Amino acid sequence: MNAGDKMAYRLFWQCYDLAIDIDAFRHLLGRDLPHRVRALLPVLNLLGIARRQDSTIRVTDRGAYLFHLVEKEYTQAYLRTLWQACLNEAWPGRVEL
């Protein structure tokens, strides 16, 4: 995975924990949260989706519900695309998602 993929992967899975530890993110990936994520935090706070507590971003109950809805749609689209590619060719060399 490239650096951007690693960051997205880490953030995605930390949302399941309902908390993003900013210090751990920096330690594991050697950089701060992406600028776009930091810029989005005030909006997430305003909408009641996430709250910052010290060096942790906590996903609220509302945020967890919305994350679940988005993740479910993404996963279903991902699996549909992957299955269709595999039905067309047993071992596709590349699948565009």
Number of domains into which the chain is organized = 1
CB 28 within 8 A of CB 62: no
Domain of 57, in residue numbers: 3-88
59 part of a folded domain: yes
Q: What is the DSSP letter of 59?
A: E
84 part of a folded domain: yes
Q: Which residue carries 């565009």 as its tokens?
A: 96
Residue 1 has pLDDT above 80, yes or no: no
95 part of a folded domain: no
CATH of the domain at 52: 1.10.10.10
Give the pair of three-digit tokens for residue 5: 């993929």
- Is 0.75 topped by the overall pTM? no
Mean pLDDT, range 8-18, rounded to an integer: 87
Helix (H, G, I), strand (E, B) or coil at 58: strand
The confidence band for 64, taking pLDDT boundaries of 50, 70 and 90, is very high
The confidence band for 41, taking pLDDT boundaries of 50, 70 and 90, is very high
97 part of a folded domain: no
Residue 60 C-beta-side C-alpha neighbours within 13 Å: 12
Check residue 16 and give its pLDDT: 85
Residue 94 has pLDDT above 90, yes or no: no
Residue 8 has pLDDT above 90, yes or no: no
